A and B are shown apart, each in its own frame.
Chain A
Amino acid sequence: MIKAKKIFKNFRVIIALIAILLALVAINPNPFAKGVAIRSVSFNSSASLAGIQSPKPTANPMSRERILSMNNVPINNLQDYYDFVSDLNINRTVNIKTTEGLYKLLTKEKIDIIQLNQTETKKIKEQVFNGTLNKTVNITKFITVQKTRETHTGEMEDLGLIVYDAPTTNIRKGLDLQGGTRVLLQPAEEVSTDEMDMLLANMKYRLNVYGLSDVVVRQAGDLSGNQYILVEIAGAKEEEVNDLLAQQGKFEATIGNNTVFRGGTDITYVCRSADCSGIDPYVGCGQTSDKNWACRFRFSISLSPAAAQRQADLTNELSVISDQGSEEYLSEKLFLYLDDKKVDELNIGSDLKGKAATEIAISGSGAGTTRQEAIFNSLENMKRLQTVLITGSLPVKLNVVKTDAISPSFGKEFINNSLFIGLLAVLVVSAIVFIRYKSLKVALPMLFTMLTELILLLGMAALIGWNIDLAAIAGIIIAIGTGVDHQIVIADEILKGEAQVYDWKQRIKKAFFIIMAAYFTTAVAMIPLLFAGAGLIKGFAITTIMGITFGVLIARPAYAAIVEILMKE
């Protein structure tokens, strides 16, 4: 009893307890967390119109918005959510209760848009920079767009929410453990810091425009001075992401050999709404000779006045030729290139000759084995093209050097497996220590110390937002493993110090002489890994260094103090 009091009064033990407390606050465990957490909200979807917002990727897992109930039906897990959503119909109001508030969501009907072979005039508002006023002004203008017809499918459009089971702690799981896509890209030539910043910003923007928000885009390097960009998209399995990221996005339209306009600055507006983008009504979809399907898409863009003038000048020199039918075209075609690859070639209507038209339709195609697939692929191609036109081109070509698409179920299995192994290993090690020293006074504090080191490590990871992945788990193993080694050194020094010539202080000092030497050698051995191999095994080094540092500074001194108090007569 007196000893227990002494232990809790010892300042090393107090420091360890405070550290554990802080770590637990950082981890913020709540095994009873209910609902499904929102990963992302699609652009222009029912959910986004109701005011639900995509979370910031940097937000703590526990602080993310969770859906608790829908129409008063409690939503406790993913299954509940999918069950509820599958029963929904169009034009229903859904009251969603989340941890942040209440949303009234209206389900939409999924509408297929077919563009007709007619045009109509529409009024649009545009923000334009006025040179004489030196500020951005809103102007209203009339544009001619294609008339569209909407087909009601009778089906409900997706709510636009991507959700996952509510997290129960603030510990972030790495891609290995939660599934997702990882792409490692390498610039084709060396880029400066400014260019790299621009690259990263542009890529983040592209992914966001594309509708992916839970993404990590960061720079990585290695010992040889190679530059890499690491992109991790949690929970997503998006194959097209590869192309989207690696595309330099150099978009160019030419007539003859002359450039009319380029992506980025020459383009002031890209239409993404259904009324001026979609499957091309002139051509639509058709079966090709080899029984495959192909569809054409088109969407309108606005050119800057300078680019429109360029087009006028170039078309002015062309002659008018007429097709077999009534249509009249100009003698040269407009060629569209993306990253120097021809996307499409378009006939230029004779009425455009010499006109500085700012509204232009861009088109392209997509193919598939079925009509459905061809439509889907065409729309995907369109979305990609729109994305690169909006975000402009990357300053340098990027090569995809590594892609990982990780299944989420493997991760779940792996977490359970690691926890089981970890627990069993801790028990076996404690049993061996108990057998060796035949004393619970040595073995129990050791068990306590192992758990302390684990909690401190996870707490720190939660605090700095470090992802726990396979490499980090290897780091945890080594940190706790060396921890046990060091506690055995402490126990032996205390129990069997050479004869009885040393006092307690000296024994512990000697133990820590050994421990510190082992600590420094392990720590310095990990340092090169921080900078090697595009940072993919950085997690291993950081976790190991963090773990052994906590061990040496907090957990092991506390262990020494506890064993000393327990053993001292």
Chain B
Amino acid sequence: MSEEHSEHKHHEKKKFSLREFHDKHYKKLLMIPLVLLVLALLQIMVQTALTGDFMLKGVSLKGGITISIEKPIDINELNNYLNDKFPQSDIIVRSLSKGGEQFGAVIEASDVESDQLITAVEEKSGKLEDGEFTVEVMGGSLGESFFKETIRAVIIAFIFMGVVVFIYFRVPIPSLAVILCAFSDIMVTLAVANLIGIKMSTAGIAAFLMLIGYSVDTDILLSTRVLKRKDSSVFDAILNAAKTGLTMNLTTLAAIIVALIFAQSDILRQIMTILLIGLIADMINTWLQNAGILKWYVERKHKHD
């Protein structure tokens, strides 16, 4: 019993300095996520101006062929060979590996016939038997329509999410803070994905939907703890929420990292990469931006009361 007590005291001491710091500087801390958001929006604008699209589209969104083969092969050699052979098309070769050992390759290409591409690959890999390779062909117009469709799905999902948040909390500013946080998450993630050159697939866009789900979880936890607190301070409520929320984020991060290390599927890796970026963005946006806005809101409300 006494031990627990001393631990509690120890905790309070630590909390004390952090509390002062937060009370004093939380508005400045608010600047970090806002600057990030502005930078992200700038990146997306530049990207759109340069390429005409706000993200790098993979073959599943712009049409093209994906061939996966299950034979160890020299990736660089194949890449150079194919790019020389089909100069007009955009070809990327990536390796598939299991436990650090390469066992195959994924070839993504646009503007080339699948038969020609397979024949060219076979020149390097040897004859490919049925069942040794997978070919996915996406028509160009369908790719374009898939792109529009999934983007539309994300926008509608975002609106639905916003409506639910409003209905649930029934107070405008905290609800808007949750929505802004989800918006920032998406924008920052998109900008980072663009910067590191992720070629987005349909699954990648689906990952943004997952992100909305994960992002809103911690925001709702935070808002509920702050708005429904009984007699503790805003800071205590935020700190309590952060303890729970960061544990949530930590478990999710751990699962994502496990998947990133071991996943063989390209699609799964892309989903996990986007979730990883998104989750880190969400940690900043939830605990600096959303927490800051909430604290500001509650303090102003107190003044007015």
* Min distance, Cβ B148 to any Cβ of chain A, angstroms: 7
Interface hub of B154, B161, B221, B229 (most chain A Cβ within 10 A): B221
Tell me if A485 and B160 are in contact (CB < 8 A). Answer: no
Binary per-residue interface labels of chain A (479-499) against chain B in the complex, 1 for a CB within 8 Å, 0 otherwise:
001101110110010001011
Q: Which of A54-102 contact B (CB under 8 A)?
A: none
Q: Which residues of B contact A478 (CB under 8 A)?
A: 210, 213-214
B157 at the interface (CB under 8 A from A): yes
B42 at the interface (CB under 8 A from A): no
Q: Which residues of B contact A421 (CB under 8 A)?
A: 258-259, 262-263
Tell me if A470 and B131 are in contact (CB < 8 A). Answer: no
Tell me if B203 and A474 are in contact (CB < 8 A). Answer: yes
Binary per-residue interface labels of chain B (236-256) against chain A in the complex, 1 for a CB within 8 Å, 0 otherwise:
000010011001101110110
Q: Which of A149-204 contact B (CB under 8 A)?
A: 179, 184, 186
Tell me if A222 and B247 are in contact (CB < 8 A). Answer: no
Of B134, B148, B206, B214, the contact of A474 (CB 8 Å cutoff): B206
Tally of B interface residues using CB under 8 Å? 70
Tell me if A521 and B164 are in contact (CB < 8 A). Answer: yes
Q: Which residues of B contact A488 (CB under 8 A)?
A: 244, 247-248, 251
State A436–B246 Cα separation when bound (angstroms).
Answer: 11
State A404–B98 Cα separation when bound (angstroms).
Answer: 24
Closest to B167 in A: A520
Binary per-residue interface labels of chain B (261-298) against chain A in the complex, 1 for a CB within 8 Å, 0 otherwise:
01111011001000000000000000000000000000
Of B70, B153, B221, the contact of A533 (CB 8 Å cutoff): B153
Q: A417-B262, A425-B259, A517-B224 are in contact. Are A407 and B70 (CB under 8 A)?
A: yes
* Min distance, Cβ A99 to any Cβ of chain B, angstroms: 27
Closest to A474 in B: B271
Q: A488-B244, A488-B251 are in contact. Are A517 and B168 (CB under 8 A)?
A: yes
Chain A binder among B32-40, B43-51, B81-89, B139-147: B139-147
A25 at the interface (CB under 8 A from B): no
Binary per-residue interface labels of chain A (416-440) against chain B in the complex, 1 for a CB within 8 Å, 0 otherwise:
0110110011001100110010000
- Chain A binding surface SS class: helix
Q: Which residues of A contact B255 (CB under 8 A)?
A: 425, 428-429, 477, 481, 484
* Min distance, Cβ A316 to any Cβ of chain B, angstroms: 48
Give the A-B pair count, Cβ closer than 8 A. 222
Closest to A242 in B: B137
Closest to B220 in A: A517
Binary per-residue interface labels of chain B (123-164) against chain A in the complex, 1 for a CB within 8 Å, 0 otherwise:
000000011111111110110011011101110111011011
Tell me if B248 and A521 are in contact (CB < 8 A). Answer: no
Tell me if A424 and B216 are in contact (CB < 8 A). Answer: no
Q: A489-B244, A524-B164 are in contact. Are A425 and B134 (CB under 8 A)?
A: no
A403 at the interface (CB under 8 A from B): yes
* Min distance, Cβ B220 to any Cβ of chain A, angstroms: 4
* Min distance, Cβ B226 to any Cβ of chain A, angstroms: 12
State A402–B250 Cα separation when bound (angstroms).
Answer: 39
Q: Which residues of A contact B299 (CB under 8 A)?
A: none
Q: Which residues of A contact B133 (CB under 8 A)?
A: 407
A510 at the interface (CB under 8 A from B): yes
Q: Which residues of B contact A537 (CB under 8 A)?
A: 150, 202-203, 206
Of A179, A222, A429, A524, the contact of B145 (CB 8 Å cutoff): A222
Q: Which residues of B contact A403 (CB under 8 A)?
A: 135-137
Q: Which of A216-231 contact B (CB under 8 A)?
A: 222-224, 226
Of A409, A428, A471, A473, the contact of B132 (CB 8 Å cutoff): A409
Closest to B213 in A: A522
Q: A428-B254, A492-B243, A521-B213 are in contact. Are A471 and B248 (CB under 8 A)?
A: no
Closest to A182 in B: B136
* Min distance, Cβ B23 to any Cβ of chain A, angstroms: 19
Q: Which residues of A contact B150 (CB under 8 A)?
A: 532-533, 537
Interface hub of A223, A408, A489, A525 (most chain B Cβ within 10 A): A525
The 25 sampled A-B contact pairs (Cβ below 8 Å) are A224-B149, A401-B139, A403-B135, A410-B134, A417-B264, A418-B265, A425-B259, A432-B250, A474-B210, A474-B271, A485-B251, A501-B230, A514-B220, A517-B224, A521-B161, A522-B217, A525-B158, A525-B209, A526-B213, A527-B160, A532-B149, A532-B150, A533-B150, A534-B146, A537-B203
Q: A471-B206, A482-B217, A525-B209 are in contact. List 12 more A-B contacts (CB 8 A).
A: A179-B134, A405-B134, A417-B264, A420-B262, A421-B258, A470-B265, A510-B224, A510-B228, A513-B224, A518-B213, A526-B213, A527-B160
The 7 closest A-B pairs by CB, nearest first: A522-B213, A524-B160, A525-B157, A401-B139, A528-B156, A401-B142, A425-B255
